[in-house]
Amino acid sequence: MLTLYDFAPSGNGYKVRLVLAQLGRPFRRIEVDLLAGATRTADFLAINPDGRIPVLVLEDGTALAESNAICWYLAEGSPLLPDDPLERAQVLRWMFFEQYSHEPNIAVLRFWHHLPAMTPLQQAQEPERRAKGEAALAVMQTHLVARDWFVGDRPSLADIALYAYTHVAEEGGFDLAGYPAVAAWLARVAALPGHFPITDPIGLDAAAPAAGAH
Amino acid sequence: MLTLYDFAPSGNGYKVRLVLAQLGRPFRRIEVDLLAGATRTADFLAINPDGRIPVLVLEDGTALAESNAICWYLAEGSPLLPDDPLERAQVLRWMFFEQYSHEPNIAVLRFWHHLPAMTPLQQAQEPERRAKGEAALAVMQTHLVARDWFVGDRPSLADIALYAYTHVAEEGGFDLAGYPAVAAWLARVAALPGHFPITDPIGLDAAAPAAGAH
């Protein structure tokens, strides 16, 4: 069975849970509490030397890191990945945008806002990260004004990747009221069959009976 | 003909130039001086609302952004992309690592070191970015100790993507002497047929006779 090394509050982990659930793939989930340093132990670094979750471990023991690479591997041959080479490249374009322009700002501010207190360096960086996060939301708004989905005429991995941290952007102090096309797209993604929110136990336990086992 | 919106000192642009040259694809190159604000003009934002180079514009006018998505699109069906689904996912794994853990630290410090002076906020962030850049190099070193190439037994897009900013890491103050497997791998990439360094005019002009035209 597939094993997912994961951390419940992580949007990067949630992306993979969503894809696994939408594809109906059973998996064993292992919680790795990164706040307690569990991604930096020798045991975990042997699985992923980069010290990050999520990591998918295949039946043969091969470890695959990076949320969007895991999603791509799982979704190959499914409706979540288009067949057309250019549409596939556009899916990747949005997934790289997500990791470069969106996550380091929108997800990181969400994380910082959940900390008991920000460090002085985090406080100093916040305005720039907020401006870059707003810029990423503006790019999404511009793209979605005349489209239902990020690539082509149906939902794809691009939508799942960008949904993960956008739908909890308000936890980092971002107000989506200024991005109505983004808000409408979030509602479309949330209405897809098999969808569940990041906090829902379906993704954490019901779909993964052995959750927490180790 | 393909049109590449590019900026000569950019490692992200250089990746695409290398792939185009190795595949023997002719292209027109348009220099976009991002230091002079040329990626933030209305004309350029109409091509890429995210305001970044590189952008590849296809014969039919379709614009594709994000260096690694462009490389993937170009390399499909070539020896630079393996056929095996898991190896393809591992190529993506390293390309996402490059954009998330490597470029924002190693490329950004190179950029900051080329500025006339760093801002106080940049100075405050430098130690953290340096530590993260060293961590990325350490991950590469660990991976390359027993391997010639990042994925499988031959060079792939993973090597090109990671080569781009690693081979100029010293411009950002990183010393590769501590990463001998990385240094040996850099030499292997540089010895590949069709290779040229980031500063070589082959990638900028000889392979693109209309370079700079607009």
Chain segment B32-81, per-residue pLDDT in tens: 999 999 999 999 999 999 999 999 999 999 999 999 999 999 999 999 99
In this structure, are residues A15 and A3 in contact, taking their beta carbons and an 8 Å threshold? no
CATH label of the domain that carries residue A26: 3.40.30.10
Pair B11, B104 in one domain:
no
Pair A54, A109 in one domain:
no
In angstroms, the CA B183 to CA A57 distance is 30
* Phi, psi of A145, deg, nearest 5: -55, -40
Confidence at residue A199, expressed as pLDDT on a 0 to 100 scale: 79
Task: Report in angstroms the alpha-carbon separations of A83 from A67, A101, A143, B43.
Answer: 21, 26, 22, 31
- B63 interface with A at CB cutoff 8 Å: no
Pair B73, B97 in one domain:
no
Closest by CA to B199, choosing from B167, B156, B161, B160, is: B167
DSSP annotation of A198 reads: T
In angstroms, the CA A122 to CA A125 distance is 5
In this structure, are residues B5 and B55 in contact, taking their beta carbons and an 8 Å threshold? yes
Pair B13, B58 in one domain:
yes
Pair A71, A90 in one domain:
no
> Does residue B129 fall inside a structural domain?
yes
Chain B contacts in chain A segment 106-135 (CB below 8 A)? 121, 124-125, 128
Average pLDDT value for residue range B190-207: 74
In this structure, are residues B21 and B202 in contact, taking their beta carbons and an 8 Å threshold? yes
> Does residue A54 fall inside a structural domain?
yes
For A65, name the nearest residue in chain B, comparing CA atoms only: B93
Query: Which chain A residues touch B101 with a CB distance below 8 Å?
Result: 50
Omega cis (within 30) before A54:
yes
In this structure, are residues A29 and A209 in contact, taking their beta carbons and an 8 Å threshold? no
Confidence at residue A202, expressed as pLDDT on a 0 to 100 scale: 54
Q: Which residues of chain A have pLDDT under 50?
A: 206-214
Is B96 in Cβ contact with A96 (below 8 Å)?
yes
Pair A74, A171 in one domain:
no
CATH label of the domain that carries residue B153: 1.20.1050.10
Query: Which chain B residues touch A139 with a CB distance below 8 Å?
Result: 49-50
Pair A94, A175 in one domain:
yes
pLDDT band with cut points at 50, 70 and 90 for residue B197: confident
ipTM of the complex: 0.94
pLDDT tens digits along B101-160: 999 999 999 999 999 999 999 999 999 999 999 999 999 999 999 999 999 999 999 999
Q: How far is A90 from chain B (nearest CA, A)?
A: 7
pLDDT tens digits along A167-212: 999 999 999 999 999 999 999 999 999 898 887 655 565 444 333 3
Print the domain residue range for B129: 85-190
In this structure, are residues B56 and B96 in contact, taking their beta carbons and an 8 Å threshold? no
Is A143 in Cβ contact with B97 (below 8 Å)?
no
